[in-house]
């Protein structure tokens, strides 16, 4: 892609949590890029660092966590100062509660959280909450903000938005709450939408509707989507490129077709083997595979490759001693593994 299409460049990002029991290296040297209009999937087991990556970009890492190293460069287009001009902003250098970061968060980089009921205020209507986000980032009054909120709810597939804009979250179904959160995230037309497992609590029919909605809105608004999930079926449906994480590091990065048809890292291969497949004949049926063992204790990371205690292809004396290199094995396909060194 052309360099002027780069939106976010993350380099050697390290986010640690300093607890009484020890230091948790939630992110330990993460590198990847997000391009304008791209849909990039971030996958991995619970605790691998997916959500912490999103929170680091938004600068909302909860205490006692903090970014200790690395850069998150946001390439902002200056529409008012001439076409084609790009401003580079290192988000790690900004005050998380300062005006510049607050202007970026929500307006240019927005979040759709995993559980809308936990992120929506139960004592305010959804209309109040969407209008507040609009007035915070745009110079409009209450009436104009309400018109924009109704318009956004309508685009998000919300039925009867004029009547239901004054509903409270508890009066809505899970699917409608999710649509309200999406409408809030998109109300200021962000350059990047971070969707943190937005369909986890939904039934499959509603999930399919939400995914179609997000693809449609992405096409209309031209935004990039960072889609965080553990559902590889959703990744195949939604994403163009995939980042696979394990214990705070990226172990593989590739276009979605390469991830599914030519996975390189043993962890990615194990994830794909654990997916149930339709259409298998009776004689081909076998017990669904699982990844043996458990994720190591975050306070005592193993030496060498973090995945080696669970890896069926490990090399004794190498994988348990040597830090695996980050290699580009094919154009656009990178892997962190000694098998390809």
d(CA 42, CA 244): 6
Q: How many helices (H) and strands (E) does the chain have?
A: 11, 12
In a domain, 11, yes or no: yes
In a domain, 32, yes or no: yes
Q: What is the mean pLDDT of the chain?
A: 87
d(CA 224, CA 226): 7
d(CA 186, CA 117): 18
In a domain, 256, yes or no: no
In a domain, 69, yes or no: yes
CA distances from 182 to 1, 105, 187, 276 (A): 28, 15, 8, 30
Of 198, 278, 202, 256, the C-alpha closest to 230 is 198
Which residues on adjacent β-strands are paired with residue 336? 326
d(CA 244, CA 52): 14
Better pLDDT: 152 or 57: 57
The tokens describing 13, both together, are: 């990002």
Q: Name the pTM for this structure.
A: 0.88
Where is average pLDDT lowest: 2-11, 17-26, 194-203?
Answer: 194-203
**Is residue 79 scored above 80 in pLDDT?**
no
In a domain, 257, yes or no: no
Most confident region among 64-73, 115-124, 171-180, 186-195 by mean pLDDT: 64-73
| Pairing state between β 6-19 and 22-35 | antiparallel
What's the pLDDT at 237?
A: 87
Using a pLDDT cut of 90, give the percent of the chain over it. 48
CB-facing half-sphere around the CA of 106: CA atoms within 13 A: 20
Of 9, 6, 32, 10, the C-alpha closest to 86 is 6
What's the pLDDT at 280?
A: 58
Range 75-103 average pLDDT: 84
**Is residue 338 scored above 60 in pLDDT?**
yes
**Is residue 337 scored above 70 in pLDDT?**
yes
Tell me the CATH number at 154: 3.40.50.300
Which residues on adjacent β-strands are paired with residue 42? 228, 243
Cis ω before 64 (30° cut-off from 0): yes
Structural domain for 165, as ranges: 3-246
The tokens describing 308, both together, are: 């080696």
Range 302-329 average pLDDT: 91
What's the pLDDT at 119?
A: 80
What's the pLDDT at 279?
A: 62
Give one DSSP letter per residue of 214-265, joined into a string.
HHHHHHHH--EEEEE-S-HHHHHHH-SEEEEEETTEEEEEEEHHHHHHS--S
Read off φ and ψ for residue 251, nearest 5 degrees: -100, -20
In a domain, 303, yes or no: no
In a domain, 121, yes or no: yes
Structural domain count of the chain? 1
**Is residue 46 scored above 60 in pLDDT?**
yes
How big is the CA angle at 46 (ends 327 and 254), to the nearest 5 degrees?
Answer: 30
d(CA 229, CA 219): 21
In a domain, 279, yes or no: no
For residue 1, name the pLDDT band (cuts at 50, 70, 90): low
pLDDT digits (tens, 9 = 90+) for 207-231: 888 888 888 888 888 899 999 988 8
Read off φ and ψ for residue 280, nearest 5 degrees: -75, 140
């Amino acid at each position: 892609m052309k360099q002027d299409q780069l939106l976010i460049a993350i380099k050697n990002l390290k986010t640690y949590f300093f607890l009484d029991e020890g230091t948790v290296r939630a992110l330990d040297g993460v590198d990847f890029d997000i391009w304008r209009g791209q849909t990039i999937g971030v996958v991995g087991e619970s605790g691998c660092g997916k959500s912490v990556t999103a929170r680091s970009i938004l600068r909302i890492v909860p205490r006692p966590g903090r970014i200790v190293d690395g850069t998150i460069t946001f390439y902002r287009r200056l529409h008012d100062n001439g076409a084609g001009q790009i401003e580079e902003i290192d988000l790690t250098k900004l005050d998380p509660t300062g005006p510049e970061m607050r202007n970026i968060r929500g307006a240019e980089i927005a979040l759709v959280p995993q559980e809308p009921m936990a992120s929506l205020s139960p004592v305010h209507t959804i209309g109040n909450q969407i209008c507040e986000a609009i007035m915070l980032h745009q110079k409009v009054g209450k009436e104009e903000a309400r018109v924009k909120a109704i318009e956004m709810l309508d685009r998000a597939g919300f039925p009867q938005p004029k009547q239901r804009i004054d509903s409270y979250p508890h009066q809505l179904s899970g699917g409608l709450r999710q649509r309200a959160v999406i409408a809030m995230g998109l109300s200021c037309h962000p350059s990047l939408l971070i969707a943190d497992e937005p369909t986890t609590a939904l039934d499959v029919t509603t999930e399919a509707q939400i995914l179609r909605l997000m693809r449609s809105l992405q096409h209309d608004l031209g935004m990039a989507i960072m889609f965080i999930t553990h559902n590889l079926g959703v990744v195949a449906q939604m994403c163009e490129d995939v980042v696979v994480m394990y214990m705070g590091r990226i172990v593989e990065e590739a276009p979605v077709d390469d991830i599914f048809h030519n996975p390189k890292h043993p962890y990615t291969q194990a994830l794909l083997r654990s997916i149930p497949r339709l259409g298998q004949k009776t004689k081909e049926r076998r017990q669904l595979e699982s990844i043996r063992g458990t994720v190591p204790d975050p306070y005592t990371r193993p030496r060498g490759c973090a995945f080696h205690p669970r890896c069926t292809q490990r090399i004794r004396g190498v994988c348990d001693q040597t830090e695996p290199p980050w290699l580009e094995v094919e154009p656009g396909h990178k892997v962190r593994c000694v098998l390809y060194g």
